[in-house]
């Protein structure tokens, strides 16, 4: 087996040979999930909105499940409503933090 067949080679634009084919730039794959930093302003706005609107029904259910110690079931409920496991874990952790703060008061 030749080395040209095992690893990709940059195309030369020539019609014949190992490097035949149109010369194109290699695409770089970007991550689809990126953590974004929440600024103070955005955090304050979200707190005001949360205070006014309260929790949605599924968030209340997750909160009750967490209070009774059913973390796995809470994650399943959050995942089902939000669509992805990462979003479900984040929401579960957020609600757990809110419960912790409420019980500390």
Question: Which domain range does residue 84 map to?
Answer: 8-104
Q: What is the pLDDT of residues 17-56, one digit of tens each?
A: 888 888 888 888 877 766 788 889 999 998 899 899 999 9
Q: Is 101 helix (H, G, I), strand (E, B) or coil?
A: helix
Residue 33 lies in a domain: yes
Residue 1 lies in a domain: no
Residue 47 lies in a domain: yes
pTM here is 0.59
Number of separate domains in the chain: 1
Residue 16 lies in a domain: yes
Is residue 86 within 8 A of residue 56, CB to CB? The reply is no
Cα(105)–Cα(96) distance, rounded to whole angstroms?
A: 15
Q: What is the pLDDT of residues 82-97, one digit of tens each?
A: 999 999 999 999 999 9
CATH code for position 61: 1.10.10.1760
């Amino acid at each position: 087996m030749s080395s040209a067949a095992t690893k990709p080679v940059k195309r030369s634009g020539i019609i014949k040979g190992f490097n035949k084919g149109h010369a194109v730039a290699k695409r770089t794959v970007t991550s689809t999930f990126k953590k974004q930093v929440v600024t103070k302003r955005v955090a304050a706005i979200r707190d005001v909105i949360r205070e006014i609107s309260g929790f949605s029904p599924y968030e209340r259910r997750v909160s009750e499940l967490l209070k009774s110690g059913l973390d796995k079931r809470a994650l399943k409920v959050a995942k089902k409503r939000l669509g992805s496991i990462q979003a479900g874990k984040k929401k579960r952790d957020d609600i757990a933090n809110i419960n912790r703060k409420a019980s500390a008061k």
